[in-house]
Amino acid sequence: MLSAARIVPVLLCLAISVAGIGAGIGAGKPGSDNSVVAVFPPWWTASRTLVAASAAGAVLDNGAYSFVVIVQSQDHELGARLRAAGALLLLDPLGLGGCLQSPARNQNV
């Protein structure tokens, strides 16, 4: 059985994860520059992710992982096209700040 000292951090992490997913789902509309962060299945290869994302719009950048990409389009159907291409989650890139870069890529640390 887990002690209270171990349960509290686990519950805190779960609560933060659920809140983040909920906020991400609500913020999944393209930002002011018509860009969106698309999270594809983690088991997809980088090339499969890029092909799927580029079918929906212009790929601007990769995220910290190969299955996360920033996509831009002037079309208001970008979110629907990304979901149809296999995106699991759409997020507003402006709300994520530095979360899109891996620590190795972030040179301001």
- In the three-class reduction of DSSP (H, G, I as helix; E, B as strand; rest coil), residue 86 is classed as coil
Q: In the chain, where are the structural domains located? A: 28-109
- pLDDT tens, the chain, 109 aa long: 566 666 766 655 555 555 555 555 544 455 455 889 999 999 999 999 999 999 999 999 888 889 999 999 888 889 999 999 999 999 888 765 445 555 444 445 4
Residues 6+ apart with CB under 8 A from 27: 91, 92, 95
